[in-house]
Amino acid sequence: MHDIEGLVDGYQRFYANRNKEETRLYRRLAEQGQAPKTMVISCCDSRVDPSAIFDAGPGDLFVVRNVANLVPPFEPRGDYHGTSAALEFAVTGLQVENIVVMGHAHCGGVKAFLDGIYGRSDGSGFIDRWMSLLNPARAAMLQSDPGKKEGDHQQLLEMDSVRCSLENLQTFPFVKDAVSRNTLRLRGAYFSIFHSSLLGLDPESDTFLLVDV
């Protein structure tokens, strides 16, 4: 699908192939509103679709996608905060019970950041400022294990982007409050595009473990 005509064709297939149950589902969601239990924060990479990976239907997931699946720290003053606004709506409005931050292999944003294309402190672009959120994680990674190959560095930083976002989530007062009341759980995940495998971040060991299939 490479053009608008392809999108139209896709919609026509979607409309023609919906069964009666899906039609009733959409009507119920329109009448009753949404009530997803889980929010997923993932990369906007076209190869990583949370709804497809988790086999979720309409109304199941509240999804936010951005470059490198990052969550900024709590900043009540500033300009426009799309991810922070979505997070606030999910926790205080929808009262989701889970937030999953999902990173992935072969992340173009992380690779460009490691290559020095994005994330420069003097950069004026939107992506520069956004990717600079990973500067502390990158510095710590290179200092702790400078001998690793470039590909290993990329995977480590892709996983650290998940850890960074989970840490930043807890700087939001409404998230911290919900976690303390045990009404909200924070989880990390990592998707391998090549193998279609999913890893979950174990909160006890702080390591990514393969999810059984």
107 among known catalytic residues: yes
Question: Which residue among 43, 65, 138, 164 is the active-site one?
Answer: 43
What are the backbone dihedrals phi and psi of residue 52, each rounded to the nearest 5 degrees, phi first? -75, -45
| CB atoms inside a 10 Å sphere around CB 43 | 24
Catalytic-residue membership of 18: no
Active-site residue 44, yes or no? no
> Do residues 56 and 149 lie in contact, with contact meaning Cβ atoms separated by under 8 Å?
no
Q: Which of 133, 130, 210 is nearest to 168 (CA)?
A: 133
- 87's CB contacts (< 8 A; 6+ apart) are 39, 41, 64, 71, 99, 169, 172, 175
Q: Residues 18, 47, 115, 152: which is the catalytic one?
A: 47
Catalytic residue of the set 65, 104, 138, 153: 104
User: Catalytic residue numbers?
Assistant: 43, 45, 47, 104, 107
